[in-house]
Amino acid sequence: MGVLNEKPLLILGGGLMGLALAHELAKKGKRVEVLSRSRHEAAGFVAAGMLAPHAEGLKGSLLNLGQISLQRQPNWVKSIEANSKMSCGLKNCGIVVPFETQEECETYPTYKFGKKLKREELLNEVPGLSKKWKLGLLFKQDGQIDNRRLLMRALEKACVELGVHFQEGVEVIEIIQDSKKFKGVKVKDINGNINHLQSEEAVLCCGAWSKQIFKSLPIFPVKGQMLSIQGPKQILKRIVFGPGIYLVPREDGLIIVGATSEREAGFDNGLTPKGQSELQKGIQSLIPQINQLPHMERWWGFRPCTPDEGPLLGMSSINGLWLATGHHRNGVLLAAITSELIAKSICSIPLNDEEKKLFTKFRWDRFENH
């Protein structure tokens, strides 16, 4: 438990990173206050929940960060489940990436981490896969977590159990600083009242909206539309990850279908006929029979993207204001390592050499010399 008269550390944004950080810091005895404009707009409730550094074909330091986070997921989830007494729906189901040609398969960035599948083996893993896919890669190490229905709720509950304080419907409208030292934030509540909250430390976790309160951050939204289909249980055992389309089978037969990637849409809310028909065509190109099953729900959200598609981690240019944002399409995967590295740094717990190296690779100022 934190010292009682200590000002709480502020978490700006109560989405996936905000909750993951609040939980990790509360575990370490910090007093934490989460300021959240709107929980339901968080990409944490939108994502498909794939844990897919290999299937996504990540490269370089981002692949490295993803692989380390994947290794840490089981323990991370265990601690959330222990504190919340809820399941997070972690499933080590493996992901199949199908290809039309040998060349596409062998030049896939993560080729060496997968098991090559011939057409018959591919069909065995993904029954009903359409004829155009001639071979595939199976990444057994990749998996999924049921972020939308379980993980986010479990994180909220775990935080509350550990004494984290929440202010929902509160928008941070300004960061207050004095000579590059963080002093607190100006907030607007749902009644339009403006207040100042003082604090010496905060973590900025505003996802795709981060630039609205910290203008120099190179973050922009990439809209994604999704839908879900109810299949019979075990209709698919693996996730299928095709170009621009993926099918994520949950334990109860619900199939999450994603996702469009719309860089020009800005923060345009809502579904579009073009986006939804793209998903429909994508399903047709993978497993046509799945389109015959009942469609259940459609939704959208905004990925927080940066110019190199890697996150911004560590201390910002304002002393005392940490960054945990910009995780683009891999935030669910990267939540475990992000919350661990930042919480350790805040609590002055030494990082090992590998962690230090990774942390430096994702500093906010890496774009400044380009």
Ligand X SMILES: Cc1cc2nc3c(=O)[nH]c(=O)nc-3n(C[C@H](O)[C@H](O)[C@H](O)COP(=O)(O)OP(=O)(O)OC[C@H]3O[C@@H](n4cnc5c(N)ncnc54)[C@H](O)[C@@H]3O)c2cc1C
- Residues in contact with ligand X by CB under 6 A are 12-18, 35-39, 41-44, 46-50, 171-172, 205-209, 212-213, 224, 226, 258-259, 301-304, 325, 327-333
Q: DSSP readout, 213-237?
A: HSTTS--EEEEEEEEEEE--TTS-S
Question: What is the nearest approach in angstroms of ligand X to the Cβ of residue 56?
Answer: 8
For ligand X, the closer of residues 206 and 313 by Cβ is 206
- Report, in Å, the least distance between residue 281 CB and ligand X: 17
Please state the φ and ψ torsions of residue 162, each to the nearest 5 degrees.
-90, 10
Pick 122 or 208: Cβ nearer ligand X: 208
Whichever of 154 and 213 has its CB closer to ligand X, that residue is 213
Minimum Å gap between C-beta 91 and ligand X is: 13
Q: Please say which residue, 54 or 135, places its beta carbon nearer to ligand X.
A: 54
Residues in the chain, overall count: 370
44/135 with CB nearer ligand X: 44
Which residue's entry shows tokens 């490269």? 59
Select 235 or 335, whichever has its Cβ closest to ligand X: 335
Strands of the chain, DSSP E: 9-12, 32-36, 50-51, 95-99, 115-117, 135-139, 143-144, 165-168, 171-178, 181-188, 194-198, 202-204, 220-230, 239-242, 245-249, 254-258, 295-305, 312-315, 321-325
Strand partners, 215: none
CB 41, min distance to ligand X, A: 5
Tokens 């230090």 sit at which residue? 356
CB of 192 to ligand X, least distance (A): 14
Please report how close the Cβ of residue 147 comes to ligand X at its closest, in angstroms: 7
- Token pair 């709107």 in the structure block, residue: 38
What's the N-to-C CA distance of the chain in angstroms? Answer: 44
Which residue number places its CB atom closest to ligand X? 15
Phi and psi at residue 38, to the nearest 5°? -160, 110
337 by Cβ neighbours in 10 Å (0-12 / 13-18 / 19+) ranks as buried
By beta-carbon proximity to ligand X, the closer residue of 141 and 325 is: 325
Shortest CA distance to 94 belongs to which of 70, 72, 77?
70
Min dist. Cβ of residue 116 to ligand X (A): 24
Nearest CA to 13 out of 164, 151, 222, 171 is that of 171
